[in-house]
Amino acid sequence: MTMLIRKATADDAKAIVEIILPTIREGATYALDPNMSEADALAYWMGPDKETFVAEEDGAVLGTYYMRPNQAGGGRHVCNCGYMTSAAATGRGVARRMCEHSLEHARSRGYRAMQFNFVVSTNERAVRLWQSLGFGIVGRLPVAFQHPTAGDVDAFVMYQQL
Amino acid sequence: MTMLIRKATADDAKAIVEIILPTIREGATYALDPNMSEADALAYWMGPDKETFVAEEDGAVLGTYYMRPNQAGGGRHVCNCGYMTSAAATGRGVARRMCEHSLEHARSRGYRAMQFNFVVSTNERAVRLWQSLGFGIVGRLPVAFQHPTAGDVDAFVMYQQL
């Protein structure tokens, strides 16, 4: 069983929705409207400003990520990514594999840094994973996130030069 | 001569374009495509996700700013603003007045913080102004901006709880 990471196609839309919608509905890790429609969620994740990838194993999509320029103009050499893993595949290193893939892809595209704008501080597993892959916490946003169960919490800006 | 800050209307579009387009074309302070069309610039500044204001004196628009939620979902209680002053009105405190107005407006709308995502570090005048109005530098993005004359420079994340 080899995990393959490849560009997403229109045929992956259903599998991607099944991964991203539960996470969006939970509202605990992404600053997105938990009630957004399936169509809006898909438009967000696979929008024309983004390159979208899937992590696949034996024909099953286990995770997905996107990459886009984080800013335009003089800031377009820094990219931004978002990653989500299927609940069923959690703990198997899918996010790590996707992030490693994204760093390599970003370099190949000429990006010179990668920035995560809003990492919820309670998402400790993600914070540790990004740190282990070279990201530093370069900013802390005080009580910038209203967590559905933890209440008001901080968010981090994480960054890595490539 | 009293400066009035009011909601922008469709009738202000021409005056707003004349303020924002030179700044966008210069590419030194905003991470926007310097070559973006007039229509795109206006759509960006007066888009449906934003509230847009103008600072007016004796019928002349001297500056403009927008406010929007910086994130959705659990992050929608933090707003983001952008401000631009007419080159002809620089040094007359227009930006300060607009920022003071925006902080008051943000409180009245129930926002609990204001965040500037990308303040170019070479824009020292703006950095000092925002600091004097209560913002702190909560993050530094290393060489995140390619300045048209200064080369690669850092950008700041600035933030203030309301």
Q: Which CATH number fits the domain that encloses residue B30?
A: 3.40.630.30
What's the pLDDT at B159? Answer: 98
Instruction: State the count of interchain CB pairs (< 8 A) between A and B.
Output: 109
Check if the beta carbon of residue A88 is closer than 8 Å to that of residue B48.
Answer: no
pLDDT bracket for residue B2 (50, 70, 90): confident
What's the rounded mean pLDDT across residues B63-76? 98
- What is the Cα–Cα distance from B46 to B29, expressed in whole angstroms? 19
What's the pLDDT at B1? Answer: 59
Kindly list the distances between the CA atom of residue A78 and the CA atoms of A3, A47, B87, B89, B126, in Å, as whole numbers in the listed order: 27, 18, 29, 33, 23
> How many angstroms away from the CA of B136 is the closest CA of chain A?
10
Would you call A143 and B30 a contact, using CB atoms and an 8 Å cutoff?
Answer: no
Q: Give the model confidence (pLDDT) of A62-111 as tens digits.
A: 999 999 999 999 999 999 999 999 999 998 999 999 999 999 999 999 99
- Position A26 pLDDT exceeds 70: yes
Q: Give the model confidence (pLDDT) of B84-142 as tens digits.
A: 999 999 989 999 999 999 999 999 999 999 999 999 999 999 999 999 999 999 999 99
What's the pLDDT at B21? Answer: 97
What's the rounded mean pLDDT across residues A135-158? 98
What's the pLDDT at B151? Answer: 97
Residue count of chain B, please give it: 162
Would you call B74 and A145 a contact, using CB atoms and an 8 Å cutoff?
Answer: yes
What's the pLDDT at A4? Answer: 96
Structural domains of chain A, count: 1
Check if the beta carbon of residue A85 is closer than 8 Å to that of residue A29.
Answer: no
Report percent pLDDT > 70 for chain B. Answer: 99
ipTM given for this complex:
0.94
Query: Could you say which of A72, A139, A144 has the minimum Cβ distance to residue B113?
Result: A144
What's the rounded mean pLDDT across residues A17-37? 97
What's the pLDDT at B60? Answer: 95
Would you call A27 and B141 a contact, using CB atoms and an 8 Å cutoff?
Answer: no
Query: Could you say which of A28, A33, A75 has the minimum Cβ distance to residue B118?
Result: A75
Q: CA nearest A12: which of A67, A82, A50, A59? A: A59
Q: CA nearest A75: which of A128, A127, A111? A: A111
- Position B18 pLDDT exceeds 80: yes
Chain A residues with CB within 8 Å of chain B CB? 24, 27-28, 30-34, 36, 71-78, 112-113, 115, 117-118, 120, 138-148, 155, 157, 159, 161
pLDDT bracket for residue A2 (50, 70, 90): confident
Give contacts of A157 with chain B, Cβ < 8 Å.
139, 141, 157
In which domain, by residue range, is A117 found? 4-161
Would you call B157 and A144 a contact, using CB atoms and an 8 Å cutoff?
Answer: no
What's the pLDDT at A1? Answer: 59
